[in-house]
C-alpha cells in the first residue's frame, strides 16, 4: 500500500533527471529552469512501465500482499485476495500474427498500478515545482547535497507530498 507508490515517485524523479540530463532541450516550467519536457515525458513513460512491472513482481510476495492483523508473524501466510491472483487475458486480434504471445496472465493489481504510475508521473512532479518555488522565495539553491545533481534527499521527497 505504501511501497509501490513511494517507489514510483522515486523512479519518476530519477528518470526525469536522467532523461533531462541526456536528452533535455526544451524547458518545462520557468519556476524550475533545469526541468525539461524531454525529462518529464521520458520519466512518465518509464514510471508507467515500471508501475506495471513492479506490481507484478511485488504481487507475488505474500509479505507484501497479506493484510496485517497483528504484530505476530502469522500474517505472512494468507489468501492474498483476487487482486493478486493471475487472470487469463486472450489477446486475439489485438496483436499481429508474428507476435509470439496470444494470451497472457496478469495480476488485476497491475491495472491499478497503471493508474498509480500515471498519477506519479503527472501529479507528483508538481510537489517538486512547489518546492522549487518555495526555495526560490527563500533564496535557497538546494535542500541538501546528499544526492549530487538531485539536490538532496529532501528534494527527492518533495514529490511525495503532492
Instruction: Compute φ and ψ for 26, nearest 5 degrees.
Output: -100, 115
76-93 pLDDT per residue, tens: 677 888 899 999 999 888
Whole-number Å distance between alpha carbons of 159 and 157: 5
pLDDT at residue 159 in the model:
60
Mean pLDDT of all residues belonging to the chain: 83
Q: Which residues of 149-160 are buried (b: 16+ CB within 10 A; e: fewer)?
A: ebbeeebbbbbe
HSE at residue 36, side-chain half, CA atoms within 13 A, is: 16
What pTM did the predictor assign?
0.80
Q: What is the pLDDT of residues 118-162, one digit of tens each?
A: 999 988 887 777 776 776 777 766 555 555 555 555 555 656 655
Please state the domain extents for the chain: 3-68+79-86+107-161
Which SS3 state, helix, strand or coil, does residue 51 take? helix
* 109 has a pLDDT exceeding 70: yes
Amino acid at each position: 500500500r505504501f511501497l509501490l507508490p513511494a517507489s514510483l515517485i522515486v523512479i519518476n524523479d530519477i528518470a526525469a533527471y536522467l532523461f533531462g540530463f541526456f536528452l533535455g532541450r526544451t524547458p518545462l516550467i520557468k519556476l524550475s529552469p533545469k526541468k525539461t519536457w524531454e525529462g518529464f515525458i521520458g520519466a512518465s513513460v518509464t514510471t508507467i512501465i515500471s508501475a506495471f512491472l513492479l506490481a507484478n513482481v511485488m504481487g507475488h510476495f505474500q509479505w507484501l500482499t497479506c493484510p496485517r492483523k497483528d504484530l505476530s508473524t502469522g500474517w505472512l501466510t494468507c489468501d492474498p485476495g483476487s487482486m493478486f491472483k493471475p487472470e487469463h487475458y486472450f489477446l486475439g486480434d489485438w496483436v499481429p500474427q508474428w507476435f509470439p504471445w496470444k494470451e497472457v496472465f496478469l495480476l488485476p493489481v497491475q491495472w491499478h498500478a497503471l493508474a498509480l504510475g500515471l498519477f506519479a508521473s503527472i501529479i507528483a512532479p508538481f510537489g517538486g515545482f512547489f518546492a522549487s518555488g518555495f526555495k526560490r522565495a527563500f533564496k535557497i539553491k538546494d535542500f541538501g547535497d546528499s544526492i549530487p545533481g538531485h539536490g538532496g534527499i529532501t528534494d527527492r521527497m518533495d514529490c511525495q507530498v503532492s
